[in-house]
Amino acid sequence: MKSILSRSISQDIPLGRIIGILLAVIILVVFLSFWPPVETAWSTFTTVFLGIFIEALPYLLLGTLASGTIEVFVSQDAIQRLSPRSPILGALFGSALGIFFPVCECGVIPLVRRLFRKGLPIPAGVAFLLAAPVINPIVILSTATAFGFGRMLLLRVGFTLLIAFLTGCIFAVVRTPWEILRPTPWITAAAVEESNLEPHDPEYEHDHEHDYSSDEEHTTIPAKLRKVFLVSLDEFFEMGRYLVMGGLIAAGMQTFIPQSVLLGIGRGPVISVLALMALAILLSICSTVDSFVALSFVGIFSAGSVLAFLLYGPMVDIKSTLMFLRVFRSRPVIYLVVIPFLLVALVGVAINYFVAW
């Protein structure tokens, strides 16, 4: 355990190389965007990337501010007192918890990691992670605006709860959080103590001497508020890079893979479900607005596939998968992507076969 912790702390990539690559990429893109033959593709690429980034930014920032607020104002005791001991109740609790946290899939990830660190049980956290981007007032409202108060809304909410709950229950087999969570340099003192871990990294220990909570200067309200912003600032950079990388990949896919490849697939009861789930991953749109996009598929695609788009997109897409990798070790991320995939595909196909729409 000790070695895993210190390894992840010192996994920084050489700085010079990163700067070099970044500069090369940027020079290339700037150059290409002035270069007539390919001008338009790169211009499209940049525009789509910035579109995704600007659109997702406020939600990510709200998530990191919520996380910072919890770090500073909510004690570990409170979380542990509130969350049920039993994994099944925990998963149930977690999947409904989103109603109090209006965050989308970008915001939920920093938030859930913070809650884990404050002692939220794994089943509850996993269920919360998957459900919160849909089970929250903003998204329910936007879905209702797009589809009306009808069965699409009910099915979306119902199946999101169910799938998040089931996945949360599957994660109940995990005994200690550290089996699946990736440690970070700023684990709280209590969490480290609790799992009997001794951080090994010298820089970490150096930081640790200045434990925030024991500091006189950080006890007044303004000081606490300042701390919220500083904690959020670091988290914004940590999570923001996945938004950037995910956005770059999604923009690249959108620019260079013709959508007709997917959209041509149309109405087949199975293939349409898989196609729209793939599109949900590729588009990486925020859950707060994805129902308007889903609306544009009604009529072209089967009802089951539109539902699958609405269920899977908020749980998994390119940018959130990259963010998962920051919070969880690799194997749990595979489960987090695959289990909901199978369940959502099952629901979508079943709707297509057994429900007359």
Partner 1 sequence: MNRTTSRFLQCLIVLGLAAYLADKWISGKLAFYISSRFFPLTLISLAALGGMAGVGLWRFFRSRAPLEKQPGLERSTISPATILILLVPLLLGVFVPARPLTAASVSNRGMSVSAPVSLGSQTNKTLDVAPDDRTVLDWIKVFNYEKDLARYIGQQANVIGFVYHDTRLNRQQFMVGRFAITCCVADAFAIGMAVDWQDSIKLADNTWVAVKGPVDELTLDDQKVPLIHAQSVTPVDAPEEPYLYP
Name which of residues 258 to 277 contact partner 1 (CB under 8 A): 258-260, 263
Dist CA 310 CA 214 (whole Å): 45
Instruction: Find the binder of partner 1 among 29, 89, 141, 278 (CB under 8 A).
Output: 29
Report the residue number, 93 or 147, with the smaller CB distance to partner 1. Answer: 147
Annotate each residue in 284-303 with x if it binds partner 1 (CB under 8 A) or - if it does not, as one string.
xxx--x--xx-xxxxxx---
Report the residue number, 100 or 229, with the smaller CB distance to partner 1. Answer: 229
Report the residue number, 22 or 342, with the smaller CB distance to partner 1. Answer: 22
Instruction: Find the binder of partner 1 among 72, 122, 248, 275 (CB under 8 A).
Output: 248
Give the up-direction half-sphere exposure of residue 332: CA atoms within 13 A in the CB hemisphere.
25
Query: In one letter, which amino acid is 192?
Result: V
What phi, psi does 301 have (nearest 5°)? -110, 160
**CB–CB of 349/270 below 8 Å?**
yes
302-321: contacts with partner 1 (CB under 8 A): none
For the chain, where are the alpha helices, taking DSSP H only? 2-9, 15-34, 36-73, 76-82, 87-97, 105-117, 122-131, 137-147, 151-170, 189-194, 202-209, 221-256, 260-263, 271-283, 290-295, 303-315, 318-327, 330-354
Dist CA 112 CA 291 (whole Å): 24
For residue 83, the minimal CB distance to partner 1 (Å) is 26
Report helix angle 271-283 to 330-354, nearest 10: 140
For residue 345, the minimal CB distance to partner 1 (Å) is 23
193-212: contacts with partner 1 (CB under 8 A): 207, 209-212
Output the CA–CA distances (angstroms, integers) from residue 114 to 6, 95, 157, in the order listed.
Answer: 20, 17, 25
Token look-up 């459900």 returns: 131
Instruction: Tell me the sheet residues that pair with 328.
Output: 181
In terms of Cβ atoms closer than 10 Å to its own Cβ (0-12, 13-18, 19+), residue 90 is: buried
For residue 52, the minimal CB distance to partner 1 (Å) is 5
Report the residue number, 41 or 88, with the smaller CB distance to partner 1. Answer: 41
Annotate each residue in 60-99 with x if it binds partner 1 (CB under 8 A) or - if it does not, as one string.
-xx-xx----------------------------------
Size of the site for partner 1 (CB under 8 A): 87
**DSSP secondary structure of 252-315:** HHHHHS-THHHHTTTT-TTHHHHHHHHHHHHH---TTTHHHHHHTTBTTB-HHHHHHHHHHHHH
Annotate each residue in 215-244 with x if it binds partner 1 (CB under 8 A) or - if it does not, as one string.
x-xx-------xx-xxxxxx-xxx-xx--x
Instruction: Tell me the sheet residues that pair with 226.
Output: none
Report the residue number, 47 or 80, with the smaller CB distance to partner 1. Answer: 47
The stretch among 81-89, 93-101, 191-199, 283-291 that binds partner 1 (CB under 8 A) is 283-291
For residue 272, the minimal CB distance to partner 1 (Å) is 14
Annotate each residue in 32-61 with x if it binds partner 1 (CB under 8 A) or - if it does not, as one string.
-x------xxxxx-xxxxxxxxxx-xxx-x
Instruction: Find the binder of partner 1 among 1, 25, 173, 342 (CB under 8 A).
Output: 25
94-133: contacts with partner 1 (CB under 8 A): none
Instruction: Find the binder of partner 1 among 75, 77, 100, 148 (CB under 8 A).
Output: 148
Nearest alpha-carbon partner for 102 in 54, 62, 162, 160:
62
Report the residue number, 4 or 189, with the smaller CB distance to partner 1. Answer: 189
**Does residue 256 bind partner 1 (CB under 8 A)?**
yes
